[in-house]
Structure 1
Amino acid sequence: MRLTVLGGCGAWPTAEQPCSGYLVEYDGFRLLLDPGYASMPRLLHHLTVDAVDAVLVSHGHPDHCADLNPLLRARALSDDSPPALPVHAPRGALDAVLALDRPGMLAAAYRLHAFDPGDRFEIGPFTVGTRLLPHFVPNAGIRLATPRGILAYTGDTGPSPDIPRLAEGADLFLSEATYVHRVPDGDAPYLLTARLAGRYAHQAGAARLILTHLWPGTDRATARETAAELFAGPIDVAVPDLAVEAAS
């Protein structure tokens, strides 16, 4: 299983960094995970729009799903439209982004599969396990399993004992780390720090940690060093085109 980062900036994209967007590939299948703001231009450095086999969305905030709209537009409006794209998301999470165009304009471009966080299902060669994790809106922590590796992804979440359970034994643990040491009080139940990400990676026995969703302007080296205080394994920070292999 191969993970390629398209972007990992929290809240809004910067000149250098799109918001969340990840391409996960296994056995020739290409799964787009969380197509957030500005992730599609980075995707096009790696694939044509018709080469995406499915989309999986953790929650409905636009920094995790807004670029589903241009992806569907590109597929629907091309001269040779590809088959409907399977799109998996928590129930109701994509209502706003799917309503951006006139009714019916993109209907033939996608096939929506709604799920409830906690559900388990298959997408191509991936077995997908999900857990409801605390955020401002319903958010699905995601565990992608193949015979050759496990990727765990928090989406956006606050502190929860379910996080190390989600990431138990994962080859790659992709964890939001919006802040480095402390989340502001009003947001503390709904977001993580790099320090907490390191703690959860250690508790889960994950092989590798990738920090993502850093607040714009956060020093990446400081975030990595802080996570390393509690996690001894390899640590990366999500930046465009970072590619990592996960293999058990």
Structure 2
Amino acid sequence: MRLTVLGGCGAWPAAGQACSGYLVEHEGFQVLIDPGYATLPRLLELTAAEWVDAVLVSHGHPDHCADLNPLLRARALGDAPPAALPVHAPPGALDAVLALDRPGMLAGSFTVGELAPGRPYELGPFRLDVWSLPHHVPNAGLRLSGGGRVIAYTGDTGPTLDLVELARDADVLLAEATYPERVPEEDAPYLSTALDAGRTASKAGVARLLLTHLWPDTPREPALAAASAHYAGDLAVAEAGLVVDLG
């Protein structure tokens, strides 16, 4: 299994960067997680639009799904449109991005499946488990398992005990860490810190922690320092171009 980070900015893409986007590959099957702003050009440096086998969207904020629109355009409007792309998201999360084009323009280029917690999904060679996690809009925590390896992803979430189960013994935890140590009061139930991510990774026994969704143009060092206060394992910021090969 291989994870490639396409981008990790929260809210909007900083210059030369992209928002949340992650390509996971196993046994030739390619899953795109969260095609946020500016992720498609980075994806196309690695693979062709028609080679993506499935898309997972954690929630409907545009920094996590806006580039689904150009991805579907690249598939639907090409010379040889491929089969419909399965796109999985919480209920209603894709309504806005799928409404960007006139009705019928992308017809047949995708199918929509709703992500719901409590039951496993089969996705090519992967098992997918889903958690409902607290955010301003419905947000799905995602756990992909395959070949004895596990990648867990929080989407955007406030603190919750469910994160430990989501991340239990994962090889990689991609954890939202918008702020280093403190979330502003109005957003405290809906976003997390690097400090929170470190606590979760430690309790869950995670092998590697990647901090993502940092506020654009903020230094990485405070986030890394905050996470390392509780987590002593392999630690990095999820920046574009980072590749984690899990064998």
Report if TM-score (shorter chain) is over 0.5: yes
Q: What residue is the counterpart of 1:133 in the other structure?
A: 133
Kindly indicate whether the alpha-carbon contact (under 8 Å) linking 2:10 and 2:63 is maintained by their aligned counterparts in 1.
yes
Letter in 1 for 2:124: G
Give the structure-1-normalised TM-score: 0.97
Kindly indicate whether the alpha-carbon contact (under 8 Å) linking 1:6 and 1:39 is maintained by their aligned counterparts in 2.
yes
Cα separation, 1, equivalents of 2:118 and 2:189: 20
Once the two structures are superposed, what CA deviation does each residue of 1:194-219 show, in whole Å capped at 9, x if it has no partner? Answer: 01100000000000000000011221
1:90 aligns with 2:90: yes
Q: What residue is the counterpart of 2:197 in the other structure?
A: 197
Cα separation, 1, equivalents of 2:153 and 2:202: 15
Give the structure-2-normalised TM-score: 0.98
Query: SS of the counterpart of 2:236?
Result: strand
Kindly indicate whether the alpha-carbon contact (under 8 Å) linking 2:115 and 2:130 is maintained by their aligned counterparts in 1.
no
Cα separation, 2, equivalents of 1:218 and 1:229: 19
Cα separation, 1, equivalents of 2:147 and 2:45: 28
Query: SS of the counterpart of 1:170?
Result: coil
Cα separation, 2, equivalents of 1:148 and 1:241: 24
Q: What residue is the counterpart of 1:239 in the other structure?
A: 239
Unaligned ranges ≥5, structure 1: none
Distance of aligned partners of 1:107 and 1:145 in 2 relative to their CA distance in 1, 3 Å threshold = same
Q: Runs ≥4 in structure 1, deviation > 6 angstroms?
A: none
Offset, 1:118: 3.7
Cα separation, 1, equivalents of 2:155 and 2:232: 23
Offset, 1:51: 1.1
Cα separation, 2, equivalents of 1:114 and 1:207: 30
Deviates more, 1:204-213 or 1:113-122: 113-122
Kindly indicate whether the alpha-carbon contact (under 8 Å) linking 1:148 and 1:246 is maintained by their aligned counterparts in 2.
no
Letter in 2 for 1:48: A
Q: What residue is the counterpart of 2:51 in the other structure?
A: 51
Distance of aligned partners of 1:13 and 1:219 in 2 relative to their CA distance in 1, 3 Å threshold = same
Matches within 5 A, 1:197-216: 197-216=197-216
1:185 aligns with 2:189: no
Query: SS of the counterpart of 1:244?
Result: strand
Q: What residue is the counterpart of 1:61 in the other structure?
A: 61
Once the two structures are superposed, what CA deviation does each residue of 1:27-69 show, in whole Å capped at 9, x if it has no partner? Answer: 1100000000110011011011111111011111110001000
Offset, 1:224: 1.1
Cα separation, 1, equivalents of 2:205 and 2:53: 31
Query: SS of the counterpart of 2:196?
Result: helix
Kindly indicate whether the alpha-carbon contact (under 8 Å) linking 1:91 and 1:115 is maintained by their aligned counterparts in 2.
yes
Q: What residue is the counterpart of 2:37 in the other structure?
A: 37
For the aligned residue pairs, the C-alpha RMSD in angstroms reads 0.9
Query: SS of the counterpart of 1:163?
Result: helix
Q: Identity percentage over the alignment? A: 62
Q: What residue is the counterpart of 1:108 in the other structure?
A: 108
Unaligned ranges ≥5, structure 2: none
Kindly indicate whether the alpha-carbon contact (under 8 Å) linking 2:86 and 2:113 is maintained by their aligned counterparts in 1.
yes
Query: SS of the counterpart of 1:108?
Result: coil
Q: What residue is the counterpart of 1:5 in the other structure?
A: 5
Cα separation, 2, equivalents of 1:155 and 1:112: 19
Q: What residue is the counterpart of 2:226 in the other structure?
A: 226
Cα separation, 1, equivalents of 2:119 and 2:132: 9
Letter in 1 for 2:17: Q
Q: What residue is the counterpart of 1:162 in the other structure?
A: 162
Cα separation, 2, equivalents of 1:117 and 1:38: 29
